[in-house]
Amino acid sequence: MSTSWIAWMLLSWLTGNPILALIVVAAAWWLGDRATFRVLPDPLRFLGRRRRISSLRHALTMNPHDRRARLELGTLLLETRRPAEAAALLRLNAEAGDDDLHTTFALGVALARTGDREGAERLLATARAKDPSFRLGEIDLELGRLRLRAGDAAGALEPLRRLVDERPGTVEGRYLLAQALERQGDAAGAARARDEAWREYAALPRFRRAHERPYAWRIRPWRPALVAAVVLLAAALILGAVGPALSGAGSAATDLGGR
């Protein structure tokens, strides 16, 4: 029986209202996710991106040759996990002669995420030749991700080690490096990389932790589990105190309506 099911049953018993309990459990898991892995979407950010994507689509309808709008739209589509659509748009820019670093990198990322390793490797290598330090090692990070997804742990080591040198505070980079080392049979090296990742995370300023937290807490998985347990316990305690009052108010309203 899952934790969510147990929490729902407990809250249903406390409040006498299974629908309210379901809403509370969903809210608790969303809050826990925002504090840990951030897998679930942020509604405000999601709506902002959606509005911007709609605006850019409209702009391209009015002017299909607006390559700047196409690049921005392609980048947003990548962020919203639509790499195939992003690749189709960005290819139009490349075919029109855009060979700038941002277009080359974005198209390389789109191809990497659609499974076209050969095309992605070629474009990311071109981008890296133009600027090896682009976004503090972002190209090496994408190469590391690509090669790990393809099962090439040995090939992922070089770009990930460069990334760690270029961007010492990267928790994701060290987490991926630990994965690559572990797949290569270097358990001690993987353990060191994980320990270094956690130390880097602990030293980061608060505003930078939000991005790196999902990878830090994959290294220390008991942390998100503890946060989720605390959130659910707090919800249970609050509803234990407030739930009967809410149920009583609902019953009173029903009685008044019946009269």
**In which domain, by residue range, is 125 found?**
43-131
- Domain annotation covers residue 115: yes
The whole-angstrom separation of Cα 170 and Cα 167 is 6
162-176 pLDDT tens trace: 999 999 999 999 999
* Residue 208 pLDDT: 84
Q: Is residue 119 part of a domain?
A: yes
- Classify residue 231: in a domain, yes or no: no
Q: Which residue has the tokens 């460069």?
A: 162
Model confidence at 253, pLDDT cuts 50, 70, 90, reads very low
pLDDT value of residue 257? 47
Conformation bin of residue 185: beta by default, left when phi > 0, alpha when psi is -120 to 50? left
- Mean pLDDT along residues 69-97: 96
Q: How many domains does the chain have?
A: 1
- Asked whether residue 184 is domain-assigned, the answer is no
Span of 23-27, 191-195, 244-248, 251-255 with lowest mean pLDDT: 251-255
Q: Rounded mean pLDDT of 47-75?
A: 95
Q: Is residue 60 included in any domain, yes or no?
A: yes
In a domain, 245, yes or no: no
Would you state the pLDDT for residue 19?
A: 72
Quick check: is 99 in a domain? yes
CATH code (residue 76): 1.25.40.10
Give domain status of residue 238, yes or no: no
Mean pLDDT of 66-91: 96
